[in-house]
Amino acid sequence: MGTSPQVSEAERAIASGDLARAAGLLRQAAEERPNEPQLWMKVAAIHRGMGQPKAALEALHRGLAAAPLDFTMLLMRASLLQRSGDPQAGEAWGHALAQKPSGELPAQVAAAVAEGERHHEAWLEARDIRMKQAMAAAEERADEEERGRIRRFRSNVLRKTRPFHSEPTHFHYPGLTEREFHPRELFPWIEDVEAATGMVAEELRAVMAAQRAELVPYIQYEDHMPLDQWRSLNRNPDWTAIHLWQNGRRVDANADCCPGTLDLLARFPQPQVRGAGPNAMFSLLAPNTSIPPHVGVANTRLVCHLPLVVPEGCWFRVGAETREWKVGEAFVFDDTIEHEAMNPSGELRVVFIFDIWHPDLSEVERDAVAALIGADGGSAGL
């Protein structure tokens, strides 16, 4: 901040204890220098010290009009509202905490933040209870899927979670339903997948024992490609795959060991796309390895997981929902919504993965998608 005559005079007034004069001088400077909103912060601090919270809030609002995300001013505003018992204090703390800078804070600021976090959490809990009570009658009548959406609605409103959307890297088909995990009821064949868990696991053991089996890094691309979401796992043996189908090509060295699994796959609506599908593989994640947040290529397909080897603590997040894999419990999710995974254990984790068409696509739309991606070379995969 510069040293205008008003600011210099205000500093002398503060030193002499004439806070009213200092506030007036700084207010005049702030009016004349709209590009320096921190002057309003100084005005607010003086009024707060003089026991004038309304005047302090008015000054903060003037400063925040120019710099609405300023952490220091938001912090002071929340603190003032809390001290005055204003019902807006809880939300104000939320606004301030959302702008908290990373790294270590000065002790005095850290103490204010800790107090704000306590107040904000209590406000959220009280708000949550009030919302639950208001929604109880409707939630009681809801089925399991509806209850899940109702709970997520409440969680989003409370900002405990946020909305996630489909953001494919290459192919976005309009109008398809966005769900992180899709309801089992949409896929009547999923029980057949689960019933085959033992057979698929046995063929996994067979292919891993085969001398000609092909085990390759899950992620492989040229270093110059603009795919930074995969940088740490590119050609990394910590995340590998045994492909049965890869971009529409049967990987004979592996597939020959898994006839039952291939017969099973033939019963499901896998995309048949030149150069891109079907895809089916055993995904092997090494101990103490994480898969970073990322999104897939096309929202025209969904992905099915059948967990086969799951050490304790392994988890999988899609959007705002996190699940632990459980052996033999399959699920379908949209991989164009941000997702990540973690194997925190000291053992290998193995999941069988395959693609299916998005159920919203009609037969003619599937044909159109296959034609476009095939004509595009299918190089990005499906």
CATH code, 204: 2.60.120.330
d(CA 256, CA 250): 9
Q: Is residue 325 part of a domain?
A: yes
In this prediction, residues 272-288 reach a mean pLDDT of: 95
Same domain? For 232 and 338 the reply is: yes
Same domain? For 200 and 315 the reply is: yes
Q: Is residue 224 part of a domain?
A: yes
Number of domains in the chain: 2
Assign 276 to helix, strand or coil: coil
Question: For position 214, what pLDDT does the model report?
Answer: 73
Same domain? For 369 and 225 the reply is: yes
Nearest CA to 257 out of 224, 286, 215, 287 is that of 215
Same domain? For 185 and 320 the reply is: yes
Of 3-7, 327-331, 366-370, the one with minimum mean pLDDT is 3-7
pLDDT band at 237 (very low <50, low <70, confident <90, very high): low
Question: For position 147, what pLDDT does the model report?
Answer: 94
Q: Render pLDDT for 185-208 as a digit per residue (tens, 0 to 9).
A: 999 999 999 999 999 999 999 999
In CATH, what number is assigned to the domain containing residue 86?
Answer: 1.25.40.10
Q: Render pLDDT for 22-68 as a digit per residue (tens, 0 to 9).
A: 888 889 888 888 889 999 999 999 999 999 999 999 999 999 999 99
Q: Is residue 142 part of a domain?
A: no
Q: Is residue 381 part of a domain?
A: no
Q: Is residue 159 part of a domain?
A: no
Same domain? For 24 and 111 the reply is: yes
Question: For position 236, what pLDDT does the model report?
Answer: 53
Question: For position 14, what pLDDT does the model report?
Answer: 86
Distances (CA, A) of 157 to 82, 274, 322, 325, 342: 22, 43, 19, 28, 28
- Residue 272, pLDDT above cutoff 50: yes
Same domain? For 111 and 185 the reply is: no
- Residue 221, pLDDT above cutoff 50: no
d(CA 185, CA 379): 33
- Residue with more model confidence, 216 or 290: 290
Question: For position 227, what pLDDT does the model report?
Answer: 47
Question: For position 224, what pLDDT does the model report?
Answer: 37
Q: Render pLDDT for 89-127 as a digit per residue (tens, 0 to 9).
A: 999 999 999 999 999 999 999 999 999 999 999 999 999
pLDDT band at 297 (very low <50, low <70, confident <90, very high): very high
Same domain? For 77 and 206 the reply is: no
Question: For position 105, what pLDDT does the model report?
Answer: 93
Rg of the chain taking only CA atoms, in angstroms? 29
d(CA 165, CA 168): 10
Confidence (pTM): 0.81
End of a domain among 96, 121, 146?
A: 121
Question: For position 268, what pLDDT does the model report?
Answer: 96
Same domain? For 204 and 76 the reply is: no
Q: Which domain holds residue 63?
A: 5-121
Of 12-16, 126-130, 245-249, 290-294, the one with minimum mean pLDDT is 12-16
End of a domain among 93, 121, 149?
A: 121
Same domain? For 185 and 319 the reply is: yes
Report the share of the chain in percent with pLDDT over 90: 80
Q: Is residue 307 part of a domain?
A: yes
- Residue 225, pLDDT above cutoff 90: no
Q: Is residue 146 part of a domain?
A: no
Same domain? For 78 and 223 the reply is: no
Same domain? For 227 and 299 the reply is: yes
Question: What is the average pLDDT score of the chain?
Answer: 91
pLDDT band at 217 (very low <50, low <70, confident <90, very high): low
In this prediction, residues 135-145 reach a mean pLDDT of: 95
Nearest CA to 75 out of 92, 62, 87, 61 is that of 92
Q: Is residue 319 part of a domain?
A: yes
End of a domain among 98, 121, 144?
A: 121
Same domain? For 205 and 117 the reply is: no
**Contacts by 249-254 with C-beta closer than 8 Å and gap 24+?**
251/214, 253/210, 253/212, 253/213, 253/214, 254/207, 254/210, 254/213, 254/214
Report the share of the chain in percent with pLDDT over 70: 92
